[in-house]
Amino acid sequence: MLDTSLIIQYGPSLLRGFGVTILCWAAGCAIGMTLGFVLMLLRQVPLRPLRWLIRAYVEVIRGTPFLIQLFLLYNGGPSIGLRLEATTAGILGLGLYGSAYFAEIFRAGYQAVPKGQVEAALSLGMSYGAILRRVIVPAMLVSTIPAIVNMMAILTKETVVLSIITVPELMYEMQTMAAETFATFETILGMALFYWLLVEVTSRLGRRLEARVTRFLTHSSTPTPSTRTSTARA
Partner 1 sequence: MIAADKNATNTAPNGASLPRTAGGGPNGSPAGTTPMVTVRGLGKSFGTNEVLRDIDLTVNRSEVVCLIGPSGSGKSTLLRCINFLEAYDRGEIRIEGTLVGYSEDSPRRRLTNRELRGLRRNVGMVFQQFNLWPHMTALENVAEALVQVRGMNKADAAARARQMLERVGLAAKADSYPARLSGGQQQRVAIARVIAMEPHLMLFDEPTSALDPELVGEVLQVMRDLAADGMTMVVVTHEMGFAANVADKVAFLDHGRIAAFGTPREVFHESAEPRVQQFLQTYHERNSF
Alpha carbons 84 and 35: distance in angstroms, whole number? 19
| Cβ atoms of 143 and 109 closer than 8 Å | yes
- What DSSP string describes 23-83? HHHHHHHHHHHHHHHHHHHHHHSS-HHHHHHHHHHHHHHHHS-HHHHHHHHHTSGGGGT--
Nearer to partner 1, 75 or 127 (CB): 127
Q: Which of 6, 42, 126, 209 binds partner 1 (CB under 8 A)?
A: 126
Q: Which of 31, 96, 139, 161 binds partner 1 (CB under 8 A)?
A: 139
Of 32-40, 59-67, 87-95, 220-228, the segment contacting partner 1 by CB under 8 A is 220-228
Q: Which of 44, 117, 143, 175 binds partner 1 (CB under 8 A)?
A: 117
Cβ partners under 8 Å of residue 112, min gap 6: 139, 140, 143
Alpha carbons 223 and 182: distance in angstroms, whole number? 59
Q: Would you count residue 44 as binding partner 1 (CB under 8 A)?
A: no
Distance of closest approach, residue 50 Cβ to partner 1, in angstroms: 18
Of 81-89, 94-102, 137-145, 202-210, the segment contacting partner 1 by CB under 8 A is 137-145
Of 56-64, 75-83, 109-117, 151-159, the segment contacting partner 1 by CB under 8 A is 109-117
Q: Would you count residue 48 as binding partner 1 (CB under 8 A)?
A: no
Sign of CA dihedral 26, 88, 193, 62: positive
CA-only gyration radius of the chain, Å: 22
Q: Would you count residue 143 as binding partner 1 (CB under 8 A)?
A: no
Residues that bind partner 1 (CB under 8 A): 114, 116-117, 119-128, 130, 134-135, 138-139, 142, 213, 216-217, 219-220, 222-230, 232-234
